[in-house]
Chains A and B, each alone.
Chain A
Amino acid sequence: MTQVEDSGARWEHFPHGADIGIRGIGPSQAQAFEQTALALTAVLTDPSLVLPRRRIAIHCEAAGPEALLVQWLNSLVYEMAVRRMIFGRFEVHLAGSALDAEAWGEQVDVPRHQPAVEVKGATYTSLFVGRSPNGAWVAQCVVDV
């Protein structure tokens, strides 16, 4: 499963025995984080089905880019669970060890979204944040479902 934007930013899933690997790729680390969040949504449903009815703000901090990716994804898992929401658009701003983001989405609509599975949490398995040989930023990990 892959989705590419005009900027070249894209997301994809990669296989893992019992769970699912999610990967975001973009011209900047922040865009790679945005794409990884879309890959997270795609574990549940097609992100293009999600309407941007409501915006929420997310702030998190962690020591190092990999821990920050896990924290970012787990913050989204938390917001999805507590608000019963699903998100289809993200804007991420990074400053040192801090991440500030906005996520747009709506309440889960089971008939329309046909959500496949809940995500329990982001893990440290296959966790990587860095540049690929062609210079693009990659942010990835396996999520437990």
Chain B
Amino acid sequence: MDPSLLRQITDSEWRIEPHGKMRVPAVLFATAPLIAAMDAKVYEQIVNVASLPGIQRAAFAMPDAHWGYGFPIGGVAAFDPDDAGVVSAGGVGFDISCGVRLLLTGLEASALAPVRHALADALFHHVPAGVGSRGLIDLSDSQLDDMLGQGAAWALSLGYGVPADLDRTEERGVMAGARPDCVSDFARNRQRREMGTLGSGNHYLEVQRVAEIFSPSPAAAFGLRLHDAVVSIHCGSRGLGHQIGTEFLRDMVALAPSFGIDLPDRELACAPIRSPLGESYLGAMRAAINCALANRQIITHLVRRAFAEVLPHAELAVLYDVSHNTCKLEPHSVDGRPKQLFIHRKGATRAFGPGHPSLPESLRSTGQPVLIGGTMGTSSYVLAGTPDSERVSFSSSCHGAGRLMSRHQASKTWSGRQLVDQLAAHGILIRSPSTRGIAEEAPGAYKDVTAVVEAAESAGLSRRVARLEPLICIKG
């Protein structure tokens, strides 16, 4: 992106003043090198988002922003239903409630070393991953309804987890306002055999080592100790979320003219929050959030089972579970006035600051854990929400590194087999059903996640707590 198009406010904040059809400014949080490396499309897309009806304060782009569908990935936008605000399927994305869950193991990484090959094999055996994989359960219609309404709590009711897991999950594991009746038969059929599956693409399961602590106090509150082993799970609402995204995007595109909404880009398709289509989408999207929460809960159970086989003394506790493709109703302040706003976070993580009432008591003094995924060869990060994050970005932060290179280019540049060998030489074990899939997800195909989290901290979106390094990676 050409920085001369933007007005620089600080080292990590840039602004596009309202022009044309923009109703509010656009604010980009990034350092100069990240801005220079950002797609030009992000400029176009964030300007388009700033033009949507009912948008509040500004349209925001996180430091990892890149070209998305309608909204940029790394886009945040708040809409007021009392100001003709809209909800957008593209503003949530196809993989509804894709997110990251981090598990503590209570073990030092050194304890894993003698059994790391056995642990990698056990995880790969127990957690279904990749194209065509199937979960443990074949859901009946009534089970589907229960899962869509009750999320991770439904998984617990089947024995997949313990009550403490829910306390460490956004929404306590159950997204309120889900409407299973708004989920089509097509979406249900895609999910019947996919519960507890990892998926493919950039989704992964990683065993990691806590390699660096930046902030000892929140790290201690989170249970993170230097050199301990932790487990990250990155996946979403699987086929169900994809189908809901596809269907509502189609319907919103078709009905946009009837709402009098002028769409500069079809994928910006949206509907008034207070319309039958908007309400149906919100009900279905919340059901998909429950699907994702249940999915990560079942995978947690499978990870515990794999660990129990290899390391029977491990006690895996959920540190936290965040979703980074959502639209949620939240109280925020705009120009000093309290409002109930629909916050779209597309490739952005909620980052409530210390004292937020939605946080569990044990995390209330530190702020919300913000879990940032890396690649199978680079670091991941744990951050925490700041007192400033509400004022700066409606309590939102980045979500990952963001791609630098297309899949096509990556598969031409690297061989999956060679990558596995190179990573093994660095002590990282890879398990995957597809060598081409590994090549497409090569660490070099992604941007520098460290630069992204440094920019997020500099902008006041969240602060760094710990850095994690991969030891074992299961790729779909």
Q: Which residues of chain A have C-beta atoms less than 8 A from B406's C-beta? A: 15-17, 20
| Contact count band on B | 35 or more
Contact A110 B131 (CB under 8 A): yes
Q: State A77–B402 Cα separation when bound (angstroms).
A: 25
Q: Which residues of chain A have C-beta atoms less than 8 A from B345's C-beta? A: none
- With known contacts A18-B403, A114-B436, A145-B201, A13–B408 Cβ distance under 8 A: yes
Contact A17 B403 (CB under 8 A): yes
Instruction: Spot the interface stretch: A3-11, A94-102, A121-129.
Output: A121-129
Contact A44 B131 (CB under 8 A): yes
- With known contacts A15-B408, A114-B434, A63–B73 Cβ distance under 8 A: no
Cβ distance B471 to chain A, nearest Cβ, rounded Å: 24
Contact B66 A18 (CB under 8 A): yes
Q: State A121–B243 Cα separation when bound (angstroms).
A: 8
Q: State A60–B337 Cα separation when bound (angstroms).
A: 49
Interface size for A (C-beta < 8 A) is 38
- With known contacts A20-B407, A110-B433, A121–B246 Cβ distance under 8 A: yes
Cβ distance A38 to chain B, nearest Cβ, rounded Å: 16
A54 contacts chain B at the CB level, 8 A cutoff:
no
A74 contacts chain B at the CB level, 8 A cutoff:
yes
* Nearest B residue (CB) for A62: B250
Q: Which residues of chain B have C-beta atoms less than 8 A from A120's C-beta? A: 94-95, 242, 245-246
Residues 417-436 of B contacting A (Cβ, < 8 Å): 433-436
A91 contacts chain B at the CB level, 8 A cutoff:
no
Contact B132 A82 (CB under 8 A): no
* Nearest A residue (CB) for B441: A117
Q: Which residues of chain B have C-beta atoms less than 8 A from A144's C-beta? A: 69, 94, 242
Q: Which residues of chain B have C-beta atoms less than 8 A from A127's C-beta? A: 266
Q: State A123–B39 Cα separation when bound (angstroms).
A: 19
B165 contacts chain A at the CB level, 8 A cutoff:
no
- The one of B67, B186, B408, B435 that contacts A1, using a Cβ cutoff of 8 Å: B408
Residues 166-222 of B contacting A (Cβ, < 8 Å): 186, 189-190, 199-201
Cβ distance A107 to chain B, nearest Cβ, rounded Å: 8
Q: Which residues of chain A have C-beta atoms less than 8 A from B409's C-beta? A: 15
A108 contacts chain B at the CB level, 8 A cutoff:
yes
Contact A17 B67 (CB under 8 A): yes
Contact A124 B242 (CB under 8 A): no
Contact B440 A117 (CB under 8 A): yes
Cβ distance B264 to chain A, nearest Cβ, rounded Å: 12
Contact with A along B211-252 (1 / 0, CB 8 A): 000000000000000000000000000010011011001100
Contact B134 A74 (CB under 8 A): no
A37 contacts chain B at the CB level, 8 A cutoff:
no
Q: State A108–B433 Cα separation when bound (angstroms).
A: 12
Contact B433 A123 (CB under 8 A): no
- The one of A44, A78, A117 that contacts B190, using a Cβ cutoff of 8 Å: A78
Q: Which residues of chain B have C-beta atoms less than 8 A from A70's C-beta? A: 250
* Nearest B residue (CB) for A114: B434
Cβ distance A61 to chain B, nearest Cβ, rounded Å: 12
Cβ distance B261 to chain A, nearest Cβ, rounded Å: 15
Cβ distance B166 to chain A, nearest Cβ, rounded Å: 28
Cβ distance B119 to chain A, nearest Cβ, rounded Å: 22
* Residue among A74, A108, A124 with the highest chain B CB neighbour number at 10 A: A124
Q: State A13–B186 Cα separation when bound (angstroms).
A: 28
Q: State A77–B200 Cα separation when bound (angstroms).
A: 14
B85 contacts chain A at the CB level, 8 A cutoff:
no
B254 contacts chain A at the CB level, 8 A cutoff:
yes
* Residue among B132, B239, B435 with the highest chain A CB neighbour number at 10 A: B132
Contact A108 B132 (CB under 8 A): yes
Contact A78 B243 (CB under 8 A): yes
B139 contacts chain A at the CB level, 8 A cutoff:
no
B277 contacts chain A at the CB level, 8 A cutoff:
no
Q: State A120–B89 Cα separation when bound (angstroms).
A: 14
Contact B242 A123 (CB under 8 A): no
Contact B245 A121 (CB under 8 A): yes
- With known contacts A78-B186, A81-B239, A115-B132, A123–B73 Cβ distance under 8 A: no
Q: State A108–B208 Cα separation when bound (angstroms).
A: 31
A84 contacts chain B at the CB level, 8 A cutoff:
yes
Q: State A120–B93 Cα separation when bound (angstroms).
A: 10
Q: State A125–B268 Cα separation when bound (angstroms).
A: 11
Q: State A123–B249 Cα separation when bound (angstroms).
A: 9
Q: State A71–B246 Cα separation when bound (angstroms).
A: 9
Contact with A along B262-273 (1 / 0, CB 8 A): 000011000000
Cβ distance A84 to chain B, nearest Cβ, rounded Å: 5
B373 contacts chain A at the CB level, 8 A cutoff:
no
Q: State A44–B433 Cα separation when bound (angstroms).
A: 12
Q: State A15–B409 Cα separation when bound (angstroms).
A: 8
User: Can you show 22 pairs from A to B with CB atoms below 8 A apart?
Assistant: A18-B403, A20-B407, A20-B408, A63-B254, A84-B134, A108-B132, A110-B131, A110-B132, A110-B433, A115-B131, A115-B132, A116-B434, A117-B131, A117-B201, A117-B437, A117-B476, A118-B201, A120-B95, A123-B69, A123-B249, A125-B267, A144-B69
- Given A78-B189, A121-B94, A123-B249, 11 more pairs with CB closer than 8 A: A15-B406, A17-B41, A19-B407, A20-B407, A77-B242, A78-B186, A82-B189, A84-B132, A114-B437, A121-B243, A124-B266
